[in-house]
Amino acid sequence: MQAEWEHAVLADDIPGVQQMLDAGADIDARDRHGQTALMLAAHHGHDTLVELLITRGAALDVTGKYGLSALMLAVVAGYESIARRLAESGADLTRRGTGAPGFHEKTAHDLALARGNMDLAARLRVD
């Protein structure tokens, strides 16, 4: 991921991100930690940017460190509205984290339970 792209995403610079996407930026480019723009926006609580990236076709289920997806990162960071939007958009609810003890084999549902967010956990439950 180019520094300019990463900076625009982290700064929640909607016009800048739109301009770069219109110019052909790779919406699913990864940063040095393996995270995409959607993952960064979800983890930082950038609701409008998350919506833009979903609308523009960002891959919902890319994973980075510890096997965490954008949905899982939103749950871990406590951004319930973003987690709900990602789930509604079709993010994989069965994906499980890897590696670190707090994430290993945990789904977004499990992570919401661990945060004590029973309402969100109920919405992310896979039957």
CATH number, domain of 18, equals 1.25.40.20
CB of 87 closer than 8 Å to CB of 53: no
Give the pLDDT confidence of 31-84 residue by residue, as tens digits.
988 999 999 999 999 999 999 999 999 999 999 988 999 999 999 999 999 999
Query: Which tops the pLDDT comparison, 102 or 87?
Result: 87
Its domain, for residue 101, covers 3-124
Q: Counting beta carbons within 10 angstroms of the beta carbon of residue 33, is it exposed (0 to 12), middle (13 to 18) or buried (19 or more)?
A: exposed
> Domain total for the chain?
1
> Whole-prediction pTM value?
0.95
Task: State how far the Cα of 75 lies from the Cα of 101, in Å rounded to an integer.
Answer: 16
Hey, what are 35's tokens?
Answer: 């995270």
